[in-house]
């Protein structure tokens, strides 16, 4: 049986330096294994030249050369790309990760032939076999499906197989974090409490039940919240679906050897507070104690600004003028709008 076309959504924001590697390897991998893709790039009002770079790459106007550190062999795709395989949509404003995802989901699920959509971070590289694995994996109805996410800079190390949630603090964890690949067995489905938004497949049945990805976090925790809306539809893992993830290229998320930026810390801990208030309000005192302890730890390590930013976020204070100014006025209005649990 020929699988249905696999939809793919990439949300781009200041991604010109990484998104071509993602698109090139994604489409090349799909071509190699005969997987039919419908790829949508949603540009979240990038101030850089992301869209122009994508168009120049797709037409062949600018030749593509794979980076020297790409974790697997790659032969560049013939250009120009055939029509219909790649669509670029403009969000008009940076409404956050979920807002961009939802634009892509709405566009792709308008096609009744598509029954699952892969949400993929643009700072990823896709080896051969992964598109086919996601398109053909069949364990019955599911809500969200994940694969194995490896560190791009450390390709023999797992970043995440699936996520866990501490219901007292709201802190999320990565199953098999930093474990060796491929020696480490995949996480079991019953261990997984959410699927990372870096590489996540959503089924049509899940979207019809849970609705679009919640947009009121702006950044972080939207996929964690979404997973809790799945009802009795399971979360599943497709271990054959590998992506190599650079991690945090646009917003400064932490990775091996790098402290999270104040921008990343603010939104992550504000979103953690919102998530706890929405789902586990009885745990707020414990979550607050954790925040004080984490802020103190950062300050003792010499990260005073970062520690203060964490507390400011979790206590519900607005952003610093510097942080607010890092977003456009329209994006800031979306990011810092009033929130209701």
- What pLDDT sits at residue 251? 62
Q: For 128-137, 140-149, 188-197, 320-329, which range has the lowest pLDDT when averaged over its residues?
A: 320-329
- What pLDDT sits at residue 1? 57
Name residue 194's beta-bridge partners.
163
- What pLDDT sits at residue 252? 57
Residue with tokens 């649990």: 341
pLDDT tens column, 135-189: 999 989 999 999 999 999 999 999 999 999 999 999 999 999 999 999 999 999 9
pTM: 0.95
Compute the average pLDDT of residues 217-246: 97
Compute the average pLDDT of residues 85-111: 95
Assess contact for 35 and 147: CB atoms under 8 A. Answer: no
pLDDT tens column, 1-21: 567 899 999 999 989 999 999
- What pLDDT sits at residue 72? 95
Compute the average pLDDT of residues 59-77: 92
Residue with tokens 């009744």: 112
pLDDT tens column, 16-33: 999 999 999 999 999 998
pLDDT tens column, 252-275: 566 666 678 888 999 999 999 999
The three state secondary structure string of the chain is: CCCCCEEEEEEECCCCCCHHHHHHHHHHHHHHHCCCEEEEEEECCCCCCHHHHHHHHHHCCCCCCCCCCCCCCCCCCCCCCCCCCEEEEECCCCCCHHHHHHHHHHHHHCCCCCCEEEEECCCEECCCCHHHHHHHCCCCCCCEEEEEEEECCCCCEEEECCEEECCCCCCEEECCCCCECCCCCCCCHHHCCECCCCEEEEEHHHHHHHCCCCCCCCCCCHHHHHHCCCCCCCEEEEEEEEEEECCCCCCCCCECCECCCHHHHHHHHHHHHHHHHHHCHHHHHHHHHHHHHHHHHHHHCCCHHHHHHHHHHHCCCCCCHHHHHCCCHHHHHHHCCCCCC
- What pLDDT sits at residue 339? 77
**Percent share of the chain, pLDDT over 90:** 83
């Amino acid at each position: 049986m020929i699988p249905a076309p696999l939809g793919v959504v990439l949300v781009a924001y200041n991604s010109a330096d990484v998104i071509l590697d993602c698109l090139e390897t994604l489409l090349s991998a799909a071509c190699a294994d005969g997987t039919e893709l419908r790829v949508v790039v949603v540009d979240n009002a990038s101030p850089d030249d992301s869209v122009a770079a994508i168009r120049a790459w797709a037409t062949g106007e600018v030749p593509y050369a794979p980076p020297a550190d790409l974790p697997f062999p790659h032969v560049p795709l013939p250009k120009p790309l055939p029509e219909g395989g790649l669509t670029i949509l403009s969000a008009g404003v940076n409404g956050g990760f979920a807002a961009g995802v939802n634009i892509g989901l709405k566009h792709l699920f308008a096609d009744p032939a598509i029954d699952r959509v892969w949400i993929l971070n643009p700072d990823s590289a896709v080896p051969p076999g992964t598109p086919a694995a996601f398109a053909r994996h069949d364990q019955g109805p599911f809500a969200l499906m994940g694969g194995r996410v490896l560190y791009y800079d450390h390709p023999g190390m797992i970043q995440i197989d699936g996520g866990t949630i501490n219901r007292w603090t709201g802190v999320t964890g990565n199953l098999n974090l930093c474990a060796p690949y491929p020696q480490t067995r995949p996480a079991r489905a019953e261990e997984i409490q959410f699927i990372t938004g870096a590489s996540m497949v959503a089924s049509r049945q899940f979207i019809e039940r849970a609705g679009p990805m919640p947009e009121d976090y702006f950044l972080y925790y939207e996929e964690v919240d979404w997973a809790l809306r799945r009802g009795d539809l399971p979360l599943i893992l497709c271990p054959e679906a590998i992506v190599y993830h650079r991690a945090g290229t646009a917003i400064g998320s932490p990775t091996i050897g790098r402290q999270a930026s104040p921008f990343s810390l603010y939104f992550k801990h504000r979103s953690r507070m919102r998530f706890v208030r929405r789902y586990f309000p009885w745990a707020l005192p414990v979550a607050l104690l954790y925040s004080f302890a984490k802020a103190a730890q950062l300050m003792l390590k010499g990260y005073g600004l970062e520690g203060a930013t964490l507390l400011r976020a979790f206590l519900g204070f607005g952003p610093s003028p510097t942080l607010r100014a890092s977003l456009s006025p329209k994006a800031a209005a979306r990011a810092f709008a009033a929130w209701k649990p």
